[in-house]
Structure 1
Amino acid sequence: MNSLFKSSYRAFTNIALIKYWGKRHEDLFLPLTSSLSLTLDAFYTDTTVEFKPNAKADVFILDGVQQGVELTQKVSQFVDLFRETAGMNMPVTVTSINHVPTAAGLASSASAFAALASACNGALGLGLDNRALSIYARQGSGSATRSLFGGFVVWHKGEGEDSQSSYAEAIDDAEWDIGMLVVIINQQQKKISSRVGMAHTRDTSPFYAMWPSEVEKDLAAIIPAIEAHDFETVGEIAEHNAMKMHASILASNPSFTYFEPDSLVAMAIVKELREQGIACYVTMDAGPNVKVIGRLSEMDQIIARFKHDFKADQLIVAKPGSAPIELKA
């Protein structure tokens, strides 16, 4: 649905294989390192934006509930980026449906701000391409910059305080035998947000000083592996990168972790499957939910093993997802 001052888009979540963990500039959402992700089709946000000349104020409706001042203000400030570009200040009504648990380490903010950016672009007829939009989306949520593209995506950290140099681009459509099993451990909002967790790790963990060079090394190795469709190397690098991030988190002072007991159960199952000859690998973001990188052709075997310890509704298979798509009326 795209008409004068009104537009609707669906954007998909992404899961970082080379993690984004820490900013060098808080206000501009400039990351300390580059990162790399895989967009997933199973989790997404549908957002409609409508600019109303006769309205008195901005309105934000999430999952059918009108939101309060704090969340509405966050959305308004993001929409201001587009209003300023369009040279107008018309009030907006934003209506979003989140088909992903919010703030549970499943990248809900990535799909949310990518959908919002796409819908603002459409409603105001700005004609920005996805690279330009990724610069806007980054200023709502860092990981949202990657959800402007499908498949494997690199988010370039950029240089200094140059906001325009930090953007995302697709590097591979992921149309090969790769996907993820998402193991839902806990859908509740996490106690320590990614933003708070990043800052605390950066400021207090002695391991964090090594993080930028480790990310650079991992990116240099994983990109050619993706281009070669080398599944095992991609999985090995992604798993090690995730564990390095979580080790840095554990070493914060005071220490904290996003792991829960069942997160460790899921990780143990992945190691067991590998010992049985089924190549699969763990990645985890800032939350307890475990993502298992696997071959789609072997996903039935992976799920069968997980069903011994987890309920069927905790196991969701995700294939590679696409760039945001316009929703028709």
Structure 2
Amino acid sequence: MKATAIAHPIQGLAKYHGMRDPELRLPYHDSISVCTAPSHTRTTADFESDREADVYVVDGEELSGRGEERVRAVVDRVRKLAGFDERVRLESENSFPSNVGFGSSSSGFAAAAMALCAAAELDLSRPEISTVARRGSSSAARAVTGAFSQLHTGLNDHDCRSERIESELEDELRIVAGLVPAYKETERAHEEAADSHMFGARMAHMHGQIAELRDALRSGDFERTFELAEHDSLSLAATTMTGPAGWVYWQPETIAIFNRIRELRDDGVPAYYSTDTGASVYVNTTEEHVDRVERAVSECGVDTHVWEVGGPARIVDDPLF
């Protein structure tokens, strides 16, 4: 019982922050994201009847501590759904840098959930598999369904699952990723989210923002979609910076990119910046303007990648072992 899956990481557009249930990873509110390709995680899972213990390897290193616990939560959920207790060997590789704000946990747990469910011979839809991936990372639920997706909040797996939002922007969008390699700690930021005095204000406007963003995607309104994403990045930063630990993820290069994108926009270029929990920056633009935007971002002294919209997690015939 062996299977391999690929999943693309997400860029948060209306980002979740904090969890009402950290074990099941149930977020306080809905969230919407877009998957980025060709960046991806590839994962192979193999349930073996004669194996004595689980083994989890990511980018050549065996996991321990909190990383191991998070993978085990996904594996245990699959074992429960499958009705067996076989041990598993799971190996994963990323095609892009991790722990720098590019969503490696989303693609990692999405690919793991997809591969594990296939290896366990579970016949599940992608929204159902998204509830498995969510136990490792809430953002991974959206990486399972792919492209533009919305994770609905809820208190159980029937409600708290991801669905894809169809949008004509899938073909038009180009994402210039500016790599600012500053390590970040997302887990701790989520743990203290509700302790920020800005958290209540964020909660108050998220419901309306989700509705507006979903409508903008459905209608193919590029400017409204990514203006909302840009504003959400500022709102998230305000919440993390005003928590007990005073998290400040942005670096000088981050701010330089923000300012350069504003200058481009003043010059008529459709470009909007966005950040997740980290210093790296996504710049959302169109195919027509992507070369100019990439030059502008690279002039800020950072490495760049140009990505398109990635599809859902999928099974492939290219195992890691």
Correspondence for 1:117: 113
- For structure 2, the residue ranges without an aligned partner over 5 or more in a row are none
Residues 1:201 and 2:193 aligned together? yes
Alignment partners' CA distance in 2, 1:235 and 1:67: 36
TM-score by length of 1: 0.92
Q: Secondary structure at the match of 2:42?
A: strand
Q: Is the 8 A contact 1:15 1:106 kept in 2?
A: yes
Correspondence for 1:151: 147
Amino acid across the alignment from 2:2:
K
Residues 1:52 and 2:41 aligned together? no
Residues 1:172 and 2:163 aligned together? no
Alignment partners' CA distance in 2, 1:295 and 1:28: 37
Alignment partners' CA distance in 2, 1:324 and 1:6: 16
Correspondence for 1:162: 156
- For structure 1, the residue ranges without an aligned partner over 5 or more in a row are none
Superposed CA deviations along residues 235-285 of structure 1, whole A, max 9, x for unmatched, are: 111111111111122222342211111110111111010111101111111
Correspondence for 1:86: 82
Picking from 289, 308, 312, the partner of 1:323 is 312
How much is the aligned-residue C-alpha RMSD, in angstroms?
1.5
Correspondence for 1:243: 234
Alignment partners' CA distance in 2, 1:218 and 1:10: 31
Q: CA deviation at 1:70?
A: 5.1
Q: Is the 8 A contact 2:73 2:135 kept in 1?
A: no
Q: Is the 8 A contact 1:259 1:287 kept in 2?
A: yes
Alignment partners' CA distance in 2, 1:257 and 1:70: 23
Q: Secondary structure at the match of 1:164?
A: coil
Amino acid across the alignment from 1:162:
N
Identity among equivalent pairs (%): 27
Correspondence for 2:256: 265
Alignment partners' CA distance in 1, 2:274 and 2:174: 12
Q: Is the 8 A contact 2:171 2:309 kept in 1?
A: no
Alignment partners' CA distance in 2, 1:237 and 1:70: 33
Q: CA deviation at 1:73?
A: 4.1
Alignment partners' CA distance in 2, 1:254 and 1:320: 34
Q: CA deviation at 1:199?
A: 2.4
Q: Secondary structure at the match of 1:175?
A: helix
Amino acid across the alignment from 1:177:
E
Q: CA deviation at 1:198?
A: 2.1
Q: Secondary structure at the match of 1:209?
A: helix
Q: Is the 8 A contact 2:250 2:278 kept in 1?
A: yes
Amino acid across the alignment from 1:163:
D
Q: CA deviation at 1:83?
A: 0.8
Q: CA deviation at 1:180?
A: 1.1
Correspondence for 2:246: 255
Alignment partners' CA distance in 2, 1:213 and 1:71: 32
